[in-house]
Amino acid sequence: MAERGAQAPILPLGEADLRGALALSASAQWNQNEADWRMLLALGQGWGIRAAGSDGREQLAASTVVLPYGGAFAWVSMVLVLPEFQRRGYARQLLRHALGVLAAHGMPALLDATPAGKAVYLQEGFCETWGFARYRRERSEARPAQRRAPSTRALRDSDWPAIDAIDTPAFGASRLPLLRTLARRLPQAARVLEQGGRLRGFVLGRDGREASQIGPLVADDDAAAMGLIGDVLRDLPGSVYLDLLDRRLALLPWLQQQGFAFQRPFTRMVHAGPGAPGDNEALILVAGPELG
């Protein structure tokens, strides 16, 4: 067994690690599926630590991924350690490695922390900014399709410049490669609200290991957000997650009517920076803690 505090070799994650990576995220009951890990490793860069477990079998014991958003900043994501290997310093070691790589590129790091992760990140110089929470609608609580006509329409390829124009100030960086990938992952959740020739909001989604996720959602007010979410839910009968900013709690009674219940909290944290980039006035649902 590795000694507590001993430095373990850090290895780049690749195609051969997908099975181990999936076992890691499933061990924490996270929602990522193989397509998520492929997307993260295609858009970003991952590292892991391999170690032998109590059965003597070597496995992927810990992971982390960084996802650069243009040159503006990078997301630190998938900080995971199998339960058997926790409290050996693996998360701290991988995080320091990732931060070193980002510092070499002059890129600030951001992340969305679980309560367990926050303990590690605070020690490494991350500061808390705003919070959001995950809500889940169970499959059994799915409402029958609403009869009203949709107020939104399916996203078209020609929408991308307008989507980029409202998403970049809301998120803090242009992230079109990610958004385009999400639109392909769950086309029935890719919708826009257009009024008077102006794009008032968009939403995307993705499939997951145990539920679909709706997000990101950027819109200019709560009514626009309800129109977008309501229209997506009509085509999404199974279990659904969404991650709502705490400052948008005015939407919660409506979400509860749709069957959503609180699941767990997250905190957006920044490393060596005054606050989170972007303007969260228009940001309503984040893409997810692993994506920002």
Ligand X SMILES: CC(C)(COP(=O)(O)OP(=O)(O)OC[C@H]1O[C@@H](n2cnc3c(N)ncnc32)[C@H](O)[C@@H]1OP(=O)(O)O)[C@@H](O)C(=O)NCCC(=O)NCCS
Q: Which amino acid is at 86?
A: Q
Q: Which residue is at the shortest CB distance from ligand X?
A: 117
Stretch that binds ligand X, among 37-45, 116-124, 236-244, 257-265 (CB under 6 A): 116-124
Q: By C-alpha distance, which of 170, 123, 167 is closest to 269?
A: 123
Q: How many residues contact ligand X, by CB under 6 A?
A: 18
Q: Taking the complex as a whole, how short is the minimal distance between the CB of residue 211 and ligand X, in angstroms?
A: 18
One of 28, 43, 101, 127 touching ligand X (CB under 6 A):
28
Q: Which two tokens stand for residue 36?
A: 């998520």
- Is position 117 an interface residue for ligand X (rule: CB under 6 A)? yes
Q: Taking the complex as a whole, how short is the minimal distance between the CB of residue 43 and ligand X, in angstroms?
A: 18
String of contacts with ligand X for each residue 30-69, x by CB under 6 A: ----------------------------------------
Q: Taking the complex as a whole, how short is the minimal distance between the CB of residue 224 and ligand X, in angstroms?
A: 30
Stretch that binds ligand X, among 112-120, 128-136, 205-213, 246-254 (CB under 6 A): 112-120
Rounded (10°) angle between helices 176-185 and 160-171: 120
Query: What are the DSSP calls for 178-236, one per residue?
Result: HHHHHHHH-GGG-EEEEETTEEEEEEEEE--SSSEEEEEEEESSHHHHHHHHHHHHHT-
Q: Which two tokens stand for residue 13?
A: 């994650």
DSSP E strands, the chain: 11-12, 45-52, 58-69, 73-81, 109-113, 126-137, 153-154, 191-195, 198-206, 212-219, 240-245, 260-271, 283-285
String of contacts with ligand X for each residue 188-217, x by CB under 6 A: ------------------------------
- Is position 92 an interface residue for ligand X (rule: CB under 6 A)? yes
One of 6, 54, 87, 250 touching ligand X (CB under 6 A):
87
Q: Which is nearer to ligand X, 25 or 280 (CB)?
A: 25
- Is position 80 an interface residue for ligand X (rule: CB under 6 A)? yes
- Is position 109 an interface residue for ligand X (rule: CB under 6 A)? no
Name every residue whose Cβ is closer than 8 Å to that of residue 178 and which is 6 or more positions away in sequence: 39, 43, 67, 69, 287, 291
The footprint of ligand X (CB under 6 A) covers 28, 79-81, 86-92, 113-114, 116-117, 119-120, 123
